[in-house]
Amino acid sequence: MNLDYEALANGLLVVITGLLGYFGIRRGIKKPEAERSPNDLELKLAMVDNRAINALAASVETLNATLQRTNTLMADEAREREIEDEVERRLKDRSR
């Protein structure tokens, strides 16, 4: 059984982003923004919470590192199995 790690990472990213969005919307409903004066200039991108972005970036980096380590371990395990199979084959050839 082969897992598609890229699809898994993308799925987790969608779930995490959805949860962050959901909790952000709930916070906005509980505590709506105060009205601003018409003289205030506001960039919409500046409204993004830095903590949420940093938390999302950290979780993506952790997931990426975990997937890379898992891939390395799986490749090492496959190499070890190939070596074991080769040794068994040679031992069988010698015993004949």
User: How does the average pLDDT of the chain come out, rounded?
Assistant: 80
User: Is 51 or 76 the better-scoring residue by pLDDT?
Assistant: 76
Strand (E) or helix (H) holding 92:
helix 50-95
User: What single letter denotes the amino acid at residue 38?
Assistant: P
Domain ranges of the chain: 5-32+48-95
Averaged pLDDT for residues 23-32: 70
By 3-state DSSP, what share of the chain in percent is helix, strand and coil, each rounded to 5? Answer: 80, 0, 20
Query: What is the per-residue pLDDT for 88?
Result: 93
Query: What is the per-residue pLDDT for 68?
Result: 92
Q: Is the pLDDT of residue 92 over 60?
A: yes
Query: What is the per-residue pLDDT for 55?
Result: 83
